[in-house]
Each structure stands twice: as C-alpha cells, then as structure tokens.
Structure 1
Amino acid sequence: MHIQDVLPRDAIPSVDDPTFGTEYIGDDDDDVIVVETTPARAYPVRILSYHEIVNDMLGDSDRIESGRCSPGDSTDESRPVAVTWCPICASAVVYDRRVDDRVLTFGTSGKLADDALVMYDRETESEWKQPLGKAIKGPLDGHELSVVPASVISWEQFRSDYPDGIVLQPIHGGDGDPRGESPQTVYKMTPYERYDAAEGFGLREMRGEGRERSWEHEDIDAKTVVLGITHRGDAVGYPVEQVQNVGGVVSDTVGGLDVLIVSSRDDIHGFEDPGYKFEFREGMLYGDGAKWDTTTGRSDDGRTLARVPSRRLYAFAWQDDHGPKSFYGLT
C-alpha cells in the first residue's frame, strides 16, 4: 500500500452538522448517493467532492431545514453513518460509524493510500482507507466498518423515484458567503469532470503530481465503474460493461450470499437474489410475473428486493484492494 501526504489534516472539511431540504443547487444529471431511510436522503456528489465525508445520523429529523420540507416523523431508529466519497477513485461508500460500542466521527487526514482518501476518526485518531473501510494505522488498526446499503443515481431519477426524499444542503455559498459567491459557483464540478474524462487516473492525473501508474487489463478501463460486494471474506467487483454485455442481469454468489446485479444505462445496483429469473425487455426489468424498478428494487405488485451493502467505485481502486482476479466476467 502506497501512502502519501498531500494536504494538512481537515484541509478538506467534513460536514458534521448536515441539513436537508427539498431543493437542490445542481443539475438534473448530477449523481447523488442515496440512503433509503425515511424519508430517503440524497447526498450530491457535487457537494461531496468538496467535503468528502458527511457525518450523519439516520432517524434524526431535527436537521431538516425548517419550512423547506415536511417529512413527518422518521420510522428509523437512530443510526450514525458516514457518507463518504473519494473523487479520485469515484468511490461512494456509506459506513456505519459504530465500532466496538463507540460512535466515531470521521474527518479527512490529508493522506492518500493507493490514491484513495484516507479518513481518520477524531476519537482515536486511527486512519482508515476509504474504499476499503478498514483502519490501516492507529489504535483501531485492522478494524473494519460495516457498509450500509446505498445507491448512486442521478438527481432527476432520485426526485422521480423518491418524491418525498430530501437532499443535503450546501455548506458554503449564498447568503452570508464571505466572497459573495453562490453555491453553484462554490461547488463547481469543472476540475472533477476534467479528471473523469481524462485517460489517466490517480493523483497524478488529478493534480499533476504523484507516482506514475499503469493499467494491465485490456477488457476494461481503469476508470470503469464497478459495483463491489464483499461478504464473509469473498469479494467480487461487477464492472458496468460486463453486466450489460450479458443482458444487464447477473445472478451470482459472493461468500455464500446470493446476489442479483442489474444495470441499465449507467446505473448499477445489487440486491439479494430472490431466486426468480429476471430479464430486461424493452428497457424494463421483468421477473416472476412482475415488472421491477431497477433503482428502488420495487415491483408493480408491491414487493421489494433487499439491497445488499456495496461499494461503487472505479476499477483501479477496486483492484488495489482486492486484486486483478476479483472482477466478474474477466479472465
């Protein structure tokens, strides 16, 4: 594992007191990380690219902006989570913040491990590799965080599929901004869009510094989007292209867990496999006599597939943690 210091600790500030509303500052095609709590919460990548970590508490309705929405009483028990995003790895993972009966609060360490965000917890100052969710230094070295089921979809899709859902509000910009800038100006995506479109990957491509890296797979690019699932010591990464090449539906087993992977357009989702035969017909997913929404896992007859905990990230970051033979459909 290659570790390097890039910025001072907390130079990229985490969001520790998030607020939510119904209005979003960005574009319809912006990606958001979705946690299916009540109401569903969207965490825009546009905002996360500038903060990387949101320390949140599911089941807490007190942080919803007054007058912006009326979600009602949440039915969820309180659950402390960290919604995390590494722009270099395009790594979106939601973690439970509880470790050994202790609730941790995460910040950015300023370090990268294999070009991936290294978080630290403020309670023990242990350092954690973000895509892996594992402590790599400090008193909690070797401990792993539990992954919370989540998905990545567009803001437009979120508003359609979760009409009562709420969205993380910007921290900077607007009224009171010291520079008088709007949230749209503060949270511009130009440098991240440039990186995503570039052929290279890693810190060197993002900032013009750091080590040169190579990519040996000919079947997929280093920045192919992968849905990674780990269970009981097994790990399989499902590249979007490989899933779509076999019709958009994959039934597989990871560490004894039967999973169903579905991908249409640029989205990819993982659910527990109920044992039905699924197939796409004219862009719609069908199985067991019902039509299923690939984003939510809901059927038109009232059933819902259980979403599995997963990571959504670039292929190079998945390989860094799990090796070149951990991909589905690649030799």
Structure 2
Amino acid sequence: MPTGGIESIDRNQISSQRLLLNQLMNNRWAAFAAGLLVLAVACGGSSPTPVPEASDSKLQPPVEKPTATSIVPEGSSIVPKIVPDVDRSIYSVPLEDILFDTFGTTRARFVPLSEISDELQTDLRDAIIPVDLPAYGGADALPWLDDEDLVLGYEAGGEAFAYPINILNIHEMVNDTIGGVPLLVTYCPLCFSGVVFSREVDGQTLTFGNTSALYQSDLVMYDHQTGSYWFQVGGEAVVGTLTGARLEPLPSATMPWGEWRALYPDTLLITGADGGLETLFAGAVYGNGIVSGYQDRVNNGQFAFPVDEDKLDGRLATGEIVLTVETGGAVTAFPLGEIGDGAVNAEVGGEAIVVFTTAGGRSVGAFFRTVEDQTLSFDYQGDGLFTDRETGSAWDFAGRAVKGPLAGGLLERVSTRRSFWFAVAISFPDVEIHSP
C-alpha cells in the first residue's frame, strides 16, 4: 500500500517561491503569450509539429491554453509548436500511481493520471518552469550564493559549469547544449536527486518539460517531441510512445560552492535565461534554502507524496543519500553517510573506479582509476587531496594529479546519480550496494 501523502513544508516553501517567480515572469511575457495563443487557435487544425531543440526554445511561463497541448516558442520567432498529448495506452507503471500536484488549484491535493482531465493536465504542464536557453556568468554573478551552498557541477571541453541546488529546487530542469552534447540537468527536491542526462535517444534530440506530476514521490518529466512521461531518477520513459527508453546519465559532481569554485576558478555559473532574463537568478528569492528536517521525515516513512511500501528496499534507510556509479551495464550504490570522508576503491561492471567523498558526503565525485594502463588505488590524505598507493602522487577532488610522479595526469569521470536511497531502489530494483 502507498505510504506518505503528508503536506511537505519543503514542498510548500518551494511552491510559494515558484508562484512569486511565475507572477514576475508572467508580467514580462503576457503580451508574447497572448500572441502565441492567437496563433495556436489559428493553427488548431494542423498536425503536431516537432518541438525545436533547447537552442531554439525559451523559458516558458504557465499560460492558459485552449486545447490539451502546450505552446512552445521557437527561438525569437512566434511560430507556435505543438507538444503531442501523452499516449496513455502505452505504459510500464500504473497510471493511477502518477500523481499530479495541483498546487492548491483544486480541492484535491493530487490527481492521478488515470483520472485527470485534459484541461487540468495541460494547465499544470510546466507550472514548474524549466530553464531553456540558460544564461551564464562568472563566479561572482549570484550575490546570495554562499560557499556552503550545494551545486551540481558539470565539465565539458575544458569548461566547468555550476548549477546551484537552490535554483534547481525551484526550476528542477535545465535544457542546454554544452560542448556539442544536448544535455538535461535535473533535480527533484523530494528525492534530493541530482542527475545530468544526455537528451539524445536513438538518434533523436529531445527537449524536456515538467508535468507537475510525481511517481513514487519523484519528479515526472515529459518530452516535447512525443509527449512521453519520464521518471527522473531512473531517467526512464514510463508512459507514452517512448515507454521503456532510458536517458544516458552523464558524469557530474555535487559539492559545496566554495569547493567547486576553488577547483574551477573560471567556472561558469547559471544566472538566468536568454531573452531579457539573464540575471533573473540573482534575485534574493533564490537564496532561500530548504527547511531542515525533511530527510528525517523521509527516514520515518513520511513522504511528500505516496510511495508504494512494496517497492521500498530495507537494505538502507529510505532517506540515506547514495551515489550510484554506472558503467559496463552495471549500477552500484555507495551510501555516502556510511563512507564519510574517504576514497572508495571498487569495481563496477568490470571497471576499476574510485569514489571521492568529503564533508560527510556533501562533496562527491567518481572516476575511473586506470591511468595509462595502470590501475591505481587511492586513500584520502586530508585537505581535499587523495594519494595513490602505487606512485604516491597527490590528486585533487577534480581528479587532477597535482604533485608526484603522475603530476599533470587526469582521471576520467564516470556517470553518477546522487539521490535518496528509496528513489534509487525503486528505479533500479536489482542495484548492488557497495560494502567495504
């Protein structure tokens, strides 16, 4: 039987912040949205048209729509694009288990996909506004960002990008293309789950939005091209024509902002979105953190939205934060609370990997530990440095050898997810748990 369904203080706080931001952005986009609606009515009889990639889309306010479709601007033009309705006849999870957060717009706290009206389903689409065409600034661009605030970090082509969790708490998704790779930065506040995915599936580039629904108390996304619904932690399509497809996770790292900035002084920091909103995230509303105590409630089975007890895995506490390492077709979970500060040398899918973690698991990253045909084993020496036993070289948290015989060497990052255990166990029922 499902458990949970309590009114989450954290969810309410985030919803209030989103409402304020929606009001601010609606004022700026009101005329533009009205023009789109006029065009949408005029084009109502046309067949669905594929939505442009992230490089041609805009940050979208929730606007009232005349039909069960979503209007998406194409770059700077006002040509409307139609998002297909999800095909509810194809699914891998019960439709009644996908629950739409109504944000107080109806008497019901949530409405299942099996019962929701087309009108309400459409009105809730992107009520939590995803970020398309993100704008970036330097390390000092967000005045509220403190050294202890967590960021989700990504590297590509010699550049580093930081996405503060405070921003992802409110917007949950960022569509972007970095280093030629179409990617999706995702975060679910109810699972503490940060994952960066590739947006390419079977040669097609997808653009993602937010359904405002949850499955097992985790974010449910949709893609503009097919309307399919995707379970965030697993990156798996669970309803619609792409059901069964999975997004490929990309290497990323989570750590306090001060540590990321020290490792990457020239890092780019997300600051807003193109189109006059480049500095939106500098606003003080984004500096509000999340109320403490939520993890304890999850550990006590008090989920924000219902979770099926039969899907819970008692090998770890439900609210234990784990890092999954994924390579060679295998997935292994590393319980960060049990590891503490250290280096964990392991094998996943036949590949030698190492997990670096400090600050009680707040800083975490994973790497392949074979360098020039030599497999290394690491120990944590303190002050954010790790030493390999084979050569005595010292390595920083970015996987760079900073002194010793291998100075100048670089470890390759491995794909990871960071999340509460309950969401990982539901996404990967056969996941292995690393034990020393």
Alignment RMSD, CA only? 2.9
Contact 2:222/2:230, CA 8 A, preserved across alignment = yes
Contact 1:58/1:80, CA 8 A, preserved across alignment = yes
Report the CA distance between 1:324 and its aligned residue. 7.4
Question: What is the one-letter code of the residue matched to 2:432?
Answer: S
Aligned position for 1:45 = 165
Aligned position for 1:80 = 182
Report the CA distance between 1:170 and its aligned residue. 3.8
* Structure 2 unaligned spans of 5+: 1-92, 103-123
Partner Cα distance (1:159, 1:187) in 2: 18
Aligned position for 1:307 = 413
Question: What is the one-letter code of the residue matched to 1:230?
Answer: E
* Structure 1 unaligned spans of 5+: 60-77
Partner Cα distance (2:178, 2:171) in 1: 19
Structure-to-structure mapping, 1:1-331, within 5 angstroms: 2-7=97-102, 8-22=124-138, 23-24=141-142, 25-37=144-156, 38-59=158-179, 78-170=180-272, 183-186=283-286, 188-189=288-289, 192-194=290-292, 196-200=294-298, 205-206=303-304, 210=306, 217=314, 220-244=316-340, 248-265=342-359, 266=361, 267-274=363-370, 275-283=375-383, 284-287=385-388, 288-293=391-396, 295-300=397-402, 301-323=407-429, 326-329=432-435
Partner Cα distance (1:133, 1:176) in 2: 29
Partner Cα distance (1:269, 1:177) in 2: 29
Contact 2:196/2:249, CA 8 A, preserved across alignment = yes
Question: What is the one-letter code of the residue matched to 2:327?
Answer: H
Question: What is the one-letter code of the residue matched to 1:93?
Answer: V
Contact 2:332/2:432, CA 8 A, preserved across alignment = yes
Identity %: 30
Give SS of 1:112's match.
strand
Partner Cα distance (1:9, 1:154) in 2: 32
Contact 1:80/1:96, CA 8 A, preserved across alignment = yes
Partner Cα distance (1:86, 1:155) in 2: 19
Partner Cα distance (1:13, 1:126) in 2: 18
Partner Cα distance (1:289, 1:43) in 2: 33
Aligned position for 1:63 = none
Partner Cα distance (1:111, 1:135) in 2: 14
Contact 2:343/2:356, CA 8 A, preserved across alignment = yes
Contact 1:88/1:203, CA 8 A, preserved across alignment = no
Report the CA distance between 1:122 and its aligned residue. 0.6
Contact 1:115/1:202, CA 8 A, preserved across alignment = no
Contact 1:237/1:328, CA 8 A, preserved across alignment = yes
Partner Cα distance (1:203, 1:3) in 2: 19
Report the CA distance between 1:36 and its aligned residue. 0.8
Partner Cα distance (1:203, 1:188) in 2: 26
Question: What is the one-letter code of the residue matched to 2:193?
Answer: S
After superposition, the Cα gap between the structure-2 partners of 1:105 and 1:163, relative to the gap in structure 1 and judged at 3 Å, is same
Partner Cα distance (2:300, 2:204) in 1: 33
Contact 1:151/1:269, CA 8 A, preserved across alignment = yes
Partner Cα distance (2:195, 2:413) in 1: 14
Deviations 1:209-266 (A, max 9, x none): 6458696647x4322221112334422100113333xx72222222222211122223
Partner Cα distance (2:260, 2:427) in 1: 30
Partner Cα distance (1:329, 1:26) in 2: 36
Give SS of 1:50's match.
helix
Contact 1:107/1:119, CA 8 A, preserved across alignment = yes
After superposition, the Cα gap between the structure-2 partners of 1:142 and 1:26, relative to the gap in structure 1 and judged at 3 Å, is same
Give SS of 1:49's match.
helix
Report the CA distance between 1:310 and its aligned residue. 0.7
Partner Cα distance (1:127, 1:241) in 2: 32
After superposition, the Cα gap between the structure-2 partners of 1:43 and 1:177, relative to the gap in structure 1 and judged at 3 Å, is closer
Question: What is the one-letter code of the residue matched to 2:344?
Answer: V
Aligned position for 2:119 = none
Give SS of 2:326's match.
strand
Partner Cα distance (2:418, 2:137) in 1: 25
Question: What is the one-letter code of the residue matched to 2:249?
Answer: V
After superposition, the Cα gap between the structure-2 partners of 1:91 and 1:264, relative to the gap in structure 1 and judged at 3 Å, is same
Question: What is the one-letter code of the residue matched to 2:351?
Answer: L
After superposition, the Cα gap between the structure-2 partners of 1:39 and 1:231, relative to the gap in structure 1 and judged at 3 Å, is closer
Question: What is the one-letter code of the residue matched to 2:285?
Answer: T
Report the CA distance between 1:123 and its aligned residue. 0.8
